[in-house]
Amino acid sequence: MTTDLAALKAHNLARWQQAKLTRDFSVAVRRLAVRKPRYQAVSAQTGVPWYVIAVIHERESSQSWSASLAQGDPWDRVSIHVPAGRGPFKSWEDAAVDALVNCSPYPSRWKDWSIGGTLTLLEQYNGLGYAGRSVPSPYVWAGTDQYRSGKYVRDGVYDPAVVDRQLGCAGLLLAMKELDASIFPTIPSVPSVPPPSQATPTPRPSIAHPAKGSIGDLVAGLVRAVVLTFKRS
């Protein structure tokens, strides 16, 4: 069954707006932030935001620099897990570029780096099995109140009772955003209507200011005409 990515983006954005951290992310996000220049070097070659590369690295291999970004296998030998048959590579960076450019879901081709779009790309990176079950992906939401339990313990085998103990990508990004303003740069806000206290008040009808079209308005017009005639005479 094909997943509706537009609907998944909306679900992920709604979850982000409500999410609260339920675990301590501080140690992990500081460790990731320290290596920002290294992630930026890969970002420059792929177009994938550095913070997306960072959280994938944490999720796939707990930020091991000897493991490939694609699936956590050693990058200096041929990978055996999906995507299998990649490598060997000369460096972690070379393996990371290959994972982002040449491996599904091809993050370098992704164009929507809004919050909802980013979280949906990260969910695709792990697989859409959770979306097919209409449950939050632990790859994205573990460690937040949007996730309770449920995990694919091996290919095609889902256990609703298992709790994913790794930190999820959304929680990592939420915590990292507190450290670095370049994560999800501010989106221009929609201009709002000024509150009543700031709007120019409309005067209420009175003798001095009768409502347009009323008898008072007609009388006031006659008086103005008489006065104007008197002044000219």
List, in sequence order, every residue forming a beta bridge with 152; answer none if it has no partner: 158
The region, left, alpha or beta by phi > 0 then psi within -120 to 50, assigned to residue 47 is left
- pLDDT of amino acid 195: 39
Predicted structure pTM score: 0.78
Residue 197 reports pLDDT greater than 60: no
Q: What is the DSSP string of 119-163?
A: HHHHHHHH-SHHHHTTS--HHHHTTBTT--S-EEEETTEEETT--
Grade residue 192 by pLDDT with cuts at 50, 70 and 90: very low
Grade residue 182 by pLDDT with cuts at 50, 70 and 90: confident
Q: Report, as an integer, the average pLDDT of 124-129.
A: 95
Distance CA 104, CA 112 (A): 16
DSSP run (H or E) holding 65: none
- pLDDT of amino acid 181: 86
What is the tens place of the pLDDT at every residue in 25-48?
999 999 999 999 999 999 999 999
- pLDDT of amino acid 215: 59
Percent of the chain with pLDDT over 90: 74
What is the tens place of the pLDDT at every residue in 59-69?
999 999 999 99
Q: What is the mean pLDDT of the chain?
A: 86
